[in-house]
Each structure stands twice: as C-alpha cells, then as structure tokens.
Amino acid sequence: MNINSGDVKLVLLCPAWKNWGAARTVRPDTVILHSRADDVNPCADSEELARNSGAMLIEVGMDHRLADLEALEKMLRACESDKGAA
C-alpha cells in the first residue's frame, strides 16, 4: 500500500500499515482480508483503514496466516473480481 500501484486494485492481507511505511489510506476499491483471531496485526487496524478509506474489509480466516480454505477462496475471488470477494 506504500507503492504507486497505478490502476491495479489492491488486495491486502492482514496489513501492518501502522507499523510500516507512511500511507494512512488506500483507494476505495481496495479489498482488505483480515482474521479477527490475528495475533500479529490487530484486526481493529484494518477496520480503521477500511473506515478511513472506504475500502472493503472482509473478516475471514483462523489466524494471521489466512491459510484455511475459506480464506484462500476469498483471496482468490478478491484477486479475480472487480467487486471484491463478498
């Protein structure tokens, strides 16, 4: 989120935006996937980022890794779709 991605839609996975870089918002077409059970980066940080940016937050996954089947399916849909993974 700290690079100029041009017109490419961002799909952020448990972003640590408060810890790294200077960006504090993202484009409204950004999709954020984050697990409520993340013990590395608080999901509340992604809630704040989504609220401040108009981005779509999808709460999914069993932990920070987002390696469970549902999370992986949501990631794939978010990357393939212009409308996110809803």
- Which phi and psi angles does 71 have, rounded to 5°? -65, -40
pLDDT tens profile 9-44: 899 999 999 999 899 999 999 999 999 999 999 999
Contact between 37 and 9 under an 8 Å Cβ cutoff? The reply is: no
Which alpha helices (DSSP H) does the chain contain, by range? 43-53, 69-80
DSSP 8: P
All structural domains of the chain, each given as residue ranges with its CATH number in brackets, are: 11-80 (3.40.50.1820)
With CA atoms as reference, report the closest residue to 47 among 77, 15, 70, 79.
15
CA angle 30, 34, 36 (to 5 degrees): 145
pTM here is: 0.90
> What is the pLDDT, as a whole number, of residue 59?
97
> What is the pLDDT, as a whole number, of residue 4?
86
